[in-house]
Amino acid sequence: MEGAENVFMSGKRKEIIIGTRGSELALVQATATEGLLGAKFPETGFVRNIIRTTGDRRTDVSLADVAKAEGTFDKGVFIKELEEALEDGSVDIAVHSLKDMPTVLDSRFKLAATLERAPVRDVLLMKFAGGVEALEEGARVGTSSVRRAKQMEFLRPDLKILDLRGNVPTRIRKLAEHDDYDAILLAEAGLVRLGFIPEIAPSGEETVEGFPDVYAVRLPENEFYPAAGQGAIGLEIRAGDEGAEAYAKSINHLDTWIRVGAEREFLRLLDGGCHTPVGVYSSLDGGEIHLCARVFPDEGGTPRTGEAKGVDPIAVALELFQSLK
């Protein structure tokens, strides 16, 4: 990637500024990005700029209400300020949880790369072992995700779904130390990256590191569909910034890029974004992509489902969209 170095050196810039949110998970993701870039470009300095986003500021109401109140609906309550930092030059590469990014970006910005994907499943954390079936009728399940709420209601309409905000450790403490929730739903990727559960699930009952009375049940993605892009880290740049794009692309993970590209194209065809209750998962085997989706109507009721296979991610996304029934 000598070209990337030349672009920056010619402008007398010897460093790249990495933008990130300040949550523990976001910082872990930024550290991973900086580590990969630093290994590729040991002569370049990578400086971190921590940005507080709308979603970080507004923890008093649900994410859907935050988006509406702040005028950022379908634009990502966790990326607005990072994009402003990209635009004014105080950040060169913004690091995101890809599932938080809107399907279609403003023309001023570009998704340049994705890192290797972590596990994509959702995890049910409980005060006892057993999984979804073990929850008593009327049990209270906490989540900030409309998708997770809709799927849990679909699987267990007798449960009570409650809003749950805060970073990952805060949410686990709310379950472990208070009586407001009987269970909560979180992404497996975040729990793994923060060291709360191992990447490979142990046999038998599984508890959460540091919370011996909290049990973790990993929900199979073909039963509890994850969000598009879940488990992937996305690198966003200013459109036309060839130097930043070269840096980002040097650490792009191709298999992840193909899979999330298909998932996000399906969302685009749906005209859906990061607040749309859609579950979609993919696999890549020998160059063939397999996509499955579950789309929930906003007004409730039975979701539409579909699946498709092929080698062209864009064509497979279209086939999946047309297969919905």
Active-site residues, by number, are: 100
Q: Indicate the angle between helix axes 254-270 and 313-323, nearest 10 degrees.
A: 40
Burial class (CB in 10 A: 0-12, 13-18, 19+), 41: buried
What does the DSSP 8-state code read for residue 284?
A: E
Chain-centre distance for alpha carbon 240: 25
- The encoded tokens of residue 16 equal 């790249």
In angstroms, rounded to a whole number, what is the distance separating the alpha carbons of residues 266 and 103?
A: 9
- The encoded tokens of residue 93 equal 């590469």
Order of strands, sheet of 109-114, starting from the edge strand that comes earlier in the sequence: 45-50, 15-20, 93-97, 233-238, 109-114
